[in-house]
């Protein structure tokens, strides 16, 4: 058994993940936007008895997800990646 003292800021039972990849985060926002707006479009199609709102909402969701990812990257604090 070793006599190493654990760092006061880093408990030995917590695994800190590596720095997040910004590209994966972008894809997550874009896919999430497509899913969310697709669900909204599907609901509006069923409510209004149309067939085109779903297909119009999918690119809207992709664009919204892209701009949300850019906004998140632009306005995040520089120390956010270090705290993960």
Could you report the per-residue pLDDT of 10-56, keeping only the tens digit for each?
Answer: 556 655 445 556 667 788 999 999 999 999 999 999 999 999 999 99
Distance in angstroms (rounded) separating the CA atoms of residues 20 and 70: 15
Using the predicted structure, report yes or no on whether residue 61 has a pLDDT greater than 80. yes
C-alpha to C-alpha distances, 4 to 9, 10, 70, 75, nearest whole angstrom: 15, 13, 43, 40
pLDDT of residue 67: 94
For residue 47, what pLDDT is reported?
97
The 10 Å CB-count burial string (b at 16+, else e) for 37-60 is bbeebeeebeeeeeeebbeebbee
Q: Are the C-beta atoms of residues 72 and 53 closer than 8 Å to each other?
A: no
3-state secondary structure of 35: helix
Q: Are the beta carbons of 54 and 40 closer than 8 angstroms?
A: no
pLDDT at 35: 97
Q: Once rounded to an integer, what is the mean pLDDT over residues 70-76?
A: 83
């Amino acid at each position: 058994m070793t006599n190493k003292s654990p760092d006061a800021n880093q408990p030995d039972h917590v695994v800190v993940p590596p720095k997040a990849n910004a590209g994966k985060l972008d894809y997550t926002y874009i896919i999430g936007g497509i899913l969310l707006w697709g669900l909204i479009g599907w609901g509006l199609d069923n409510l209004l008895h149309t067939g085109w709102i779903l297909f119009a909402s999918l690119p809207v969701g992709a664009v919204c997800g892209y701009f949300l990812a850019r906004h998140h990257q632009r306005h995040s604090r520089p120390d956010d990646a270090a705290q993960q």
